[in-house]
Every structure is written in C-alpha cells, then in structure tokens.
Structure 1
C-alpha cells in the first residue's frame, strides 16, 4: 500500500515514518514543506517530496506521480498561543490546506484518510478523563481548526466516500528510544523539551504559566503520550480503515495526567539538574485540565501504550536532547 505521510519530516510524522518503515507491506512517500520539519529525520531510502499542502499545483503533481492509496495528515500549525494571535494563519494552513488535500484525494480516488486531531477540540471538558463522545467546545482557534476539519471529513465521507479516522491527543512527547530522532521545534513551545533546555544550559529557568488553576498544585494538568505510542496508534488506525472500511474517532490518552510541576520534578530526577522555575501569567486559551480516556482505541484498534510513566517518557527525550543539544541541524 502506498501511503502519503503529509508532515512526515515533522515531530510526530517522523516517528510514524520510522515505525511504518519497519513494515514491508507499506510504501512511504513523505510530503513536507520543511517549514517545521527536518530533512535530517528522514530515513535513507524513503521517498521525499518537498511540497506544501496549501499549494494545489504541488499536490496535483505528487498525487499524479505517486498514486497513493492512503493519506496521513500531520501538517497542522499547533501552538495554542500563536493561534490566538494569528487565527487567520491557522485557519489557512489547518483548514484550507486540508480541504486542498481532500480535493486531491477525491480527484485521484484515494479512499483512506488518517487525521491528526487533538484533545483541544473539547475545550474545558465537562468530565475527565475525557470520553470519546464528550461535547466539543474548543476555546482557542487551534482547537477550532481541528474540529472544523473533523466536521468537513464527515460531510466529505457522505458526498465522496472518503473513509477517515480522527485521532485526538494532546501532549505528544518523548523521542525514539534510539535517540536518533526527537522533538525539534523553532521556537520550542512544548513543555518537556523546554524543561530539558534548562538542564542543557540553554535557558536559565523554566516558566510556569499560571499556578492558580483548580488542580492539585495550581498548575495545568495534561495527558502525556509518548510519540512512538502515537505512531503505533496511527498504524492501527490505517489497518482498521482497510479492514472495516468504516470511519471513526478515537481519543489517545493515558487516562491520567501530570501537572506542570510534576513534569518538572520528573525531569529533575532524570537529568540530575535543579531546573529553576518561575511563575508567569497564564496563557490565553489554556484549559486547566486535559486528560483523555482511550478505552475505545484500546478496544476497537487494539492499541496499547509502551511508555506508561512520565519518567519513562522524559528518559527518551533526554537521550535525544543530550545527543542533539542544538537540534538536527547542529548536533
């Protein structure tokens, strides 16, 4: 099966490529404009096309050339705070880009679509862990762009028969256990790599955005799922689509969360660094608690997590960041 991995040079996409490349039944074609991705993360022998999903001409070229049978989509802009200050840019990339991708799929009769969604579509959830069928009430443009795409997918299936799976997760984290690929954003906004930058001497202290939330220590609670576990879920989702030819939506979480302070403490333990902290004002659009249940994914997809504690996750991230203190471009 020929599979397009759109955003396959990015953080989650590169880990999916690594896992998918170990399975002989798939031929991988990476589509990435390298605005956030890194060519250094692409394994030898994997086909790479430098293309932007917002460029209809480029999409027509790569679809005509490779004739994929399935598409996995990881090309979204993902920073909550940035989405609040640049909503138009987020709707253009996350929504318009996906529409162009689906239009190309329709034209070239590609029937399977795996969408990287987010727990941010739930906003401030009514209960935690968040059930798969929880009401969707995003409180920031990022979450709303993802929910908009989920709605578009439902109508697209009705009209054109494209089957899809939406995988909703929040904090992807960690790195491949080899330490060869990991998280490298510029600027970096995700908690664990930012904490580890303090341990590497690249920051003086870690900023905690708000300590007055209604949580056990006043800091935000998030559900942390290892990036390799997420990659495995995407493969399970593709197998499900091919086997069942049925669309579905799944939460991918651990069912338990960690506060910002707990993640910092775990990082101190793993790195042996004191990691000084400072309290800042809360960020716009940040819910107090986001924890996802994953019972449906476990039951229907047969998904199981390999990395079950925050310490296990931080260990893999630390291995990557120690060997890549300046990211891919300057090891």
Structure 2
C-alpha cells in the first residue's frame, strides 16, 4: 500500500538522500526537487522521481506538487556553511529564508497539509546552559542560524493561518553514512569534522584543522552532539507519521543524542577505528562557533516513537569511513 507522495527538497544532498531512503523503505512514494548545485543525481534512489529545479521556481514547484498529488514536504534544500554565512549573508537569506518562504507559499496554494523542516541547533546561538532544551532562548550568532530561525517563525505563523501543520527538527551535528552503503556525505570541501577526519584517514587530506583549543570545555576543544544520519532520517519519517495522525498539532524538536564529544575525542576515535594517527593542526577559533552544543533530547523521545539505533561514535565513524572508501572507488 502506498501512503502518498512526499516532496523532498534537496533530496540529492547528504541528509536529504538519506531521508529519501528512509521514506521509500517505510512505504512512501517520493519526488525530489534539487538544483544539483551541491547535490548529486546519482545519490537519489532509483525508486524516487528526480526533478532538477530550484525551489524558488514557483511555477515548476507547483506543477510538481499538483502532478504528483504531494501530501507532505520535507525541506532540506538550502545553504549550510556557517563561516560562509558570515561572509555572504545575503546568499543565506536568499537560499534559506526567501526560498523557504516561496516553498511554503506553494505548499499552501497547492493544499499540501504537512511540512517537515530541516532546522538547526544554530538557532540557539551560544546556549545559556547545556544540554539545550527546545525552550532555550533563540539567539543565533550567525546568518545561517538566523536564516533558519526566520523559516521556523514563518511556519509557525502560516500554520496558525492555514490548514497546514509542521515539524521543525533542529539538528545537532550530523555524521556517518547509510550502514548499507547506499548514500553518504559526498560533497567536496565538506566542513563536518567526522567527514574531514575520514578524508584525512583515507589520504584525501594531509591533516585536520582543530579550530579553537581554548574553549571552556574539558580539553579546550569544541564539544558537539553527533547524530548518525540514518537516525536523523528515521526521525523525519516518524515526525511525518505524527503530522498525518494529528493534523492539528505542530512540533519543534531537537535531534541529537543528548551527549557530546570534543574535537580531540572524535579524532582519537578515528585513530582507533583506522589504526593510524591523523595529523592535527591547531588553529584559532572560527567566527560563530559556540564552545558546546548538546541536545536535550527528552522532547523528541517523548513525542515520537523514535529511538536512536546508531548512538555509538566508533560505529558512526566506521560507516563514514566505509562510504569514503566507496567514494574513492567512484573517482
């Protein structure tokens, strides 16, 4: 039995391609819109339909929604590099905020009832306390976080005015790859620590930069909550099921494991998994990096029937490493 069609924006990207797999595996039909600027057509599972377009192209987006009888949207498309958002804020307000506004308007116009939004822990800025609950003050310290928070606010206001409900999922640090080797992080020049570290471990990079060694953390390096991308994708499917089941309710939920690892702890784990030593280059802090970001994940555990299945740092690294080796064979 098919449950209906879900439109996945940015479905050719890292997290989007894993959400496509999770949706298909759960019995949903999927149509992907991706402009392929950072995504890859080959990353989209053959069971899904891929439309190469920009989500700001309202005519095409609405045509796709109508042609496919789209019942829900999972919105991953956007720009995600924090330092770049500081140097090019207008790009982030265009790609993340303005394009999301256009997509939400298309959803309302076409009668799409459910919207799942890829948000971020960057909406919190520098948290007052860690772990961070969803009720913590939203005070982004970079345009990336601001651009995502604006979209959350739009969704809240639109859901109050129109028959649409939403779930905004605030990601912490996403890592790893599909354990079956069907997708992974393929972007060149990625900035995610575990991706960078496995690139170094497989000889693609000479060293790994450690940005900031003087944070107020146990070893002075930044602490982050790393969530396996397949667990994150499963959370999206669980959130969609809830939106369909309870159309009058919307939710904003943290996606994380509730505990963090420092940069040095992650690099030590990569060394253990690969049985080699990655060269570490100690550098100054980057603009917009808080000392520690760890999710208070009690709300998602209470709201969704979702439970982490890959909460193991070395397992996350193993999956990322297996994907890195597979990518090397593609090149």
Give the alignment's TM-score, normalised by structure 1: 0.96
Matched, 1:93 2:104: no
Deviation at 1:193, TM superposition (A): 1.1
2:304 to 285, 301, 318: 301
Could you tell me which residue of structure 2 aligns to residue 18 of structure 1? 21
Please list, as runs of the form range in 1=range in 2, the aligned pairs for 1:224-243 lying within 5 A after superposition. 224-243=226-245
Q: 1:124 aligns with which of 98, 106, 126?
A: 126
Paired residue total: 327
Superposed displacement of residue 180, structure 1: 2.9
Tell me whether 60-69 or 35-44 shows the greater mean CA deviation.
Answer: 60-69
Higher mean C-alpha deviation, range 56-65 or range 206-215: 56-65
Instruction: String of CA shifts for 1:75-95, please: whole Å, max 9, x gaps.
Output: 021110010011000000000
TM-score (norm 2): 0.96
> Which consecutive residues of structure 1, in runs of 5 or more, have no partner in the other structure?
none
SS for the counterpart of 1:70 is strand
Secondary structure of the residue that 1:317 maps to in structure 2?
helix
| Distance in structure 2 (CA, Å) of the matches to 1:121 and 1:161 | 26
Secondary structure of the residue that 1:113 maps to in structure 2?
A: strand
29-38 vs 57-66, greater mean Cα deviation: 57-66
Residue 173 (str. 1) matches residue 178 (str. 2): no
Partners of 1:184 and 1:19 in 2: how far apart? 18
Matches for 1:192-207 after TM superposition, within 5 Å: 192-207=194-209
Q: Which residue of 1 aligns with 2:272?
A: 269
Q: Residues 163-184 of structure 1, C-alpha deviation per residue, up to 9 Å, x if partnerless? A: 1000011211000112231001
Q: Which residue of 2 aligns with 1:81?
A: 83
Residue 31 of structure 2 is matched in structure 1 by: 29
Work out whether residues 175 and 227 of structure 1, in 8 Å CA contact, stay in contact via their aligned partners in 2. Answer: yes
- Show the counterpart of 2:153: 151
Q: CA deviation at 1:161?
A: 2.5
Cα-to-partner distance string for 1:2-57 (whole Å, 9 max, x where unaligned)? 11011111101111111111122x11111111111111111223111111112222
Cα distance in structure 1, aligned partners of 2:118 and 2:182? 23
Residues 29 and 49, structure 1, Cα contact 8 Å, conserved in 2: yes
Deviations 1:248-284 (A, max 9, x none): 1111111110000011010011111210101111110
Aligned match of 2:136 in 121, 134, 137?
134
Which stretches of structure 1, 4 residues or more, deviate above 4 A after TM superposition?
A: none
Superimposed CA distance per residue, residues 131-175 of structure 1 (whole angstroms, 9 cap, x where no aligned partner): 121111111110111111111111111122221000011211000
What are the ranges of 5 or more consecutive residues in structure 2 without an aligned counterpart? none
